[in-house]
Structure 1
């Protein structure tokens, strides 16, 4: 990655035209061919950018550009669309390159597989007397996250989401309809478990006789939650 801090102008031409007047900015050139133009404000969003695949050509400024104060000119061209980003560099304060290597990617904490694993290990979260029957119980339309038995020995199907929406309730409803056709399992009730359950999803679930359970991920992994409690 190459990071350049410079006073510059930026002109975008192609499917649209946009211009950034002379100001000090950070120019980020990435190994994938993209370039991003950042200011000190505006949060994480760049002021302008060129997505890959793109090529960078460093040019000598024209007489007109030199008269305007440019010392270097970059022309970044998109290889498919032909759109161009022209950067006129006036005063360059920093120009550094870094080898970052291959990034392993974002690892999300509290993904559904983690929640499923922890809930299976802490099946009593569903209620006193609950027992785990099986994780990833396979059906003809996909796996049920957790199949358990309550204190009376009745079958309970659990669908787990990070953020519970209407689609998740519909998914659990289909599982319940299928499972209740099996005389060895029926009657099967449902639990919709998530870190956050949207109001519409809760209303739909309760209307269908499905119990909603909000999971506290921090509490389940033994970390004190930042959520204020009354007691």
Structure 2
């Protein structure tokens, strides 16, 4: 079934190439070259959004943050000409699920889009059936509501944050590498994408842990990966 994709990219050549190649996957692509104009359309029902960071008017970070607020479950991919860790982390912290640094392979973009749309479809299927609620006394993780409750308070979490926590919590104390988590949560493996996992873990810690620098729930196993403890 065709999906509706929002693409905001101010370079007409790049926008055209991306649009054509996603249309080849039978998706409907709505393109904007100006961030402020795209901002007016964020309320529409999209399945996935792709934002360039550097845009005239409203930049990609602001678009991402706003869309994540309006549509918590939508998949968001950031395109960036910047390769600094700070810029990448900022995009992920604003709610992006993924990023690609320019110049990027069109085949890689197609693969990422397929993976995220597949994850969204799988999520919907899971929501249609009853799943096991994980109860750790002060922490409750409910996959039917996509809801994390800590000490009686419901946490504000993105879909990927929830999926990562639920995945780890299903197998407490087992250590997973960043590559394993990318494959199981994001649906792909790609060299250089460790920032995606690291940033998501850091955001979860800021919400779960009273002292994120000394986490109780999400622990780092240095040189290996992450594990859930209780």
More helix, by proportion: 2
Higher strand share: 1
Instruction: Tell me if TM exceeds 0.5.
Output: no
* TM-score, L = length of structure 2: 0.30
